[in-house]
Structure 1
Amino acid sequence: MRVSVPGIPQAILSAAGTSQTVSPATAIERIASFLSPGNATVITGAGVSVDSGIRAYRGKDGTYMNPNYKWVDSAIFYHELIDETERGYAFRQRYWLRSYLGYPPVRDALPNTTHYALAALQYTGVVTRLITQNVDGLHHKALRDLWSSAKLEERILELHGTLHKVHCKHGHTIDRPTFQDWLSAANPQWKEYADDLERTGRQPRTNPDGDVVLEGVQYSSFMVPDCPSCMLEGRRNSVHKPEVIFFGESIRSEVRERSFDDVEKGDRLFIVGTTLATYSAFRLLKHALRLKKPVLMLNVGPTRADGTPGLDKIDLPTSAVLREVVRALVGIQAVEDQTIKRMLSSGIMKPPAEDDDDRLPRAAG
């Protein structure tokens, strides 16, 4: 079965470093002017969560942080994960062990200054809709003390799903902490290992999808539990999947349609911290341009959209400008409105260490 993996055209990668750079002050002025009419739709990607300690898929030159990532170190394709044969179970053992160890850092991650700056723009109504490719739930965390769950679902679309829910092949859904407990109960030896990792801080490198890099591991020792709800219905079923879109899996039609609708309802499109390597996001840019909407991108390094007519791009880190963009837009409210003031003083800055680089091939067990 042939499955295409999203990427950036080589011609764009070869031209990396040719984009015009501007000063933070100039960027702040341009972004604030772009957003000032309001009713903007925002698309975010992995770059937004880097300052929360979650590594992006790609480096500043646009290439994968690990060139073997999609073939060796991580990705299991959708058809492999849901395969009901013995071979499929082996794929699930591999996926769920790595995800079991990789989920806690994502679970415990905190919103950074960019998440809170975007939350402030949502709170003030400048940004009316946000579409994120991230599965970490950090946009929700930045607003959960202010907005109900229903309002969060209405204003934030998780285009590629979320790590925080799991469902079995028959549709039984469970929250991720409960599923982690099931995995712990089925694998006491790995629970002890995971506790030791948290206690000593020796956490393996975690990818944006909650997967970790492991070496020399026998995945066959990891047990994937059967779904209790399926067992109550008289069948055994170990096919569990996080509510995340895998390579080779299609986005649900209602999510795709809503993503187009969110772009259509906005008067302009602001793209933040993403290379748009996945077509599900890139096509939203194309849709906005077809509708003659203004589009501005803020991202470090080359993207799939570079050179697209009608796209205005600023090559800077989001953390360098977005707080000041909010201050420029809201004026005195940044001091007088206690909610906005709190947002602009909130957020961690804890990017992965610069030497935390997975470009070298690693054994995958």
Structure 2
Amino acid sequence: MRVSVPGLPQAILSAQSSAQKISPSEAIIRLAEFIGKGDVAVLTGAGVSVDSGIRAYRGNDGRYMNPNYQPIFYHELIDPTEKGHLFRQRYWLRSYLGYPSVRDALPNTTHFALAALQHTSHIRRLITQNVDGLHQKALKQKAGHHWGPARLQNEVLELHGTLHRVHCRRGHAVDRDTFQDWLSATNPRWQEFSDELERTSSKPRTNPDGDVDVEHMGISYSDFVVPDCPSCSMEDHENKIHKPEVIFFGESIPQHIKHRSFIDVERCDKLLLIGTTLATYSAFRLLKHALELKKPVMLLNVGPTRADGIPGVDKIDIASGAVMREVARAIMCGVSSFLVVATNATNPRGTQAHENSIVKDMLESGIVNPPSDDR
């Protein structure tokens, strides 16, 4: 089986950017007009979570920041042979050490700006490629009594799954924190090692999927124990094959998720892409679908993307964290009056943002803590 890690074509990486260089204030007005006039669906990628301290796969040049990146593929993780067991030891040790960074990550200003726009129904459909759960965390943190599980599931679609749940080969599911406890109980030495990393703030480089690079530390996976599934044991089955509810390279997206993502695009008037290079086809085909349906498309991303040069895509080359909070404020007060209101200290910056305490809190919240280059 031949499976490759998706990337951007060399022709795109080598080409000059087609995005016109504009100021943040111009970008804010254009984005606010795009979102504020019509039913908009939003598709987010790893770039949205960078300010939360979660490293993106690719840098501003569109290339993988770790050129030696070697993910575990789906067929390797579920392989029932001894070779598959070795792959699972590698995956689960790296994920065991990396998951706490994703679990403890906090929503940033972009997450909260999008949450405010969802809460006020300016954005009705949000599709995310991210598996970190930060969009949901932003909504629950500030408006949890309005955003129960059913509404979150209806209005936030996790295209590539989530790190926060695990299931065994026979379908028994468990939340990730419980699975982390199982891993700690069967690997006390590694729990001590993980605790030491936390105490010394020596956290290894963490990818958006919670996987970490530990080879340079001279670590061997040979003594890492992947526990049996307790539910399978109660049914007299031995089963050590577990998988996070994340779509791995080489794995198909469930048909109901794929169908829902197409329906979300079909039901919107416009599509806004934020923080994504569209390197994975599961995201790129949603762009293609929107264009086939003649829907306006805007892309907010720093650096090359798979959409560069495609007619019908209006690209803004600016980081989302630099503009999205002000975009939300502009929409709340009406785009036409934004420039006047924003420069008048005696007026509130946004009618809904001023009158709605939840929205006001959202637009004053969010960390800005991007990972350093050496982490």
- TM-score band by shorter chain is over 0.9
Q: Deviations over 1:256-305 (max 9, x none)?
A: 00000011111100000000000000000000000001100000000011
Pairing 1:282–2:284 present: yes
Cross-structure match for 1:87: 83
Q: Distance in 1 between matches of 2:115 and 2:279?
A: 24
Percent identity of paired positions between Structure 1 and Structure 2: 68
- 1:89 match: secondary structure: helix
- 1:37-89: CA deviation from partner (whole Å, max 9, x where unpaired): 232100000000000000000000000011111x3xxx001000000011100
**Given the alignment of the two structures, is residue 9 of structure 1 paired with residue 5 of structure 2, yes or no?**
no
Contact 2:17 2:308 in 1 (8 A): no
Q: Aligned to 1:29, what secondary structure does the other structure show?
A: helix
What letter corresponds to residue 367 of structure 2 in structure 1?
I
Q: Distance in 1 between matches of 2:268 and 2:174?
A: 33
Post-superposition shift, 1:200? 1.5
For 2:295 and 2:147, the matched residues in 1 are separated by: 28
In 2, Cα distance between equivalents of 1:253 and 1:5: 21
* CA distances 1:140-186 after superposition (whole Å, capped 9, x unpaired): 00001241111000000000000000000100000000000000000
Match of 2:26 in 1: 26
The residue that corresponds to 2:107 in the other structure is: 111
Question: In the alignment, which residue of structure 2 is the partner of 1:363?
Answer: none
Cα distance change, pair 16–102 in 1 and its aligned pair in 2 (3 A): farther
Q: Which aligned segments of 4 or more residues in structure 1 are displaced greater than 4 angstroms?
A: none
Partner of 2:321: 319
Q: Which residue of 1 aligns with 2:130?
A: 134
1:194-273 mapped onto 2 (5 Å cutoff): 194-214=194-214, 215=216, 216-273=218-275
The alignment partner of 1:22 has SS state of coil
Q: What is the match of residue 192 of structure 1?
A: 192
Assess if the C-alpha contact under 8 Å between 1:16 and 1:301 holds in 2: no
* Matched-pair contact (CA < 8 Å) for 2:62–2:305: yes
2:192 is the counterpart of 1:180: no
Q: 1:59 aligns to what?
A: 59
1:328 is matched with 330
**Cα distance between partner residues in 2 of 1:19 and 1:141:** 32
Is the Cα–Cα contact under 8 Å of residues 111 and 347 in structure 1 kept in the other structure?
A: yes
Partner Cα distance (1:95, 1:159) in 2: 21
Structure 1 unmatched ranges of 5 or more: 357-365
TM-score, normalization by structure 2: 0.92
Query: TM (normalized to structure 1)?
Result: 0.95
How far, CA to CA, are the matches of 1:113 and 1:164 in structure 2?
A: 22
AA aligned to 1:136 is D
Q: Do residues 171 (structure 1) and 190 (structure 2) align?
A: no
- Aligned partners of 2:300 and 2:158: how far apart in 1? 19
Closer, same or farther: CA 126–151 of 1 in aligned 2, 3 Å: same
**Amino acid corresponding to residue 221 of structure 2 in structure 1:** Y
Contact 1:184/1:190, CA 8 A, preserved across alignment: yes
**C-alpha displacement of 1:17:** 4.3
The answer for the alignment partner of 1:361 in structure 2 is: none
User: 2:338 is matched with which residue?
Assistant: none
The answer for the alignment partner of 2:74 in structure 1 is 78
Verify the 8 A CA contact 1:38 1:127 in the aligned structure 2.
no
Q: Answer yes or no: is the 8 Å Cα contact 1:16–1:61 preserved in 2.
A: no
Q: 1:46·1:133 contact (CA, 8 Å) conserved in 2?
A: yes
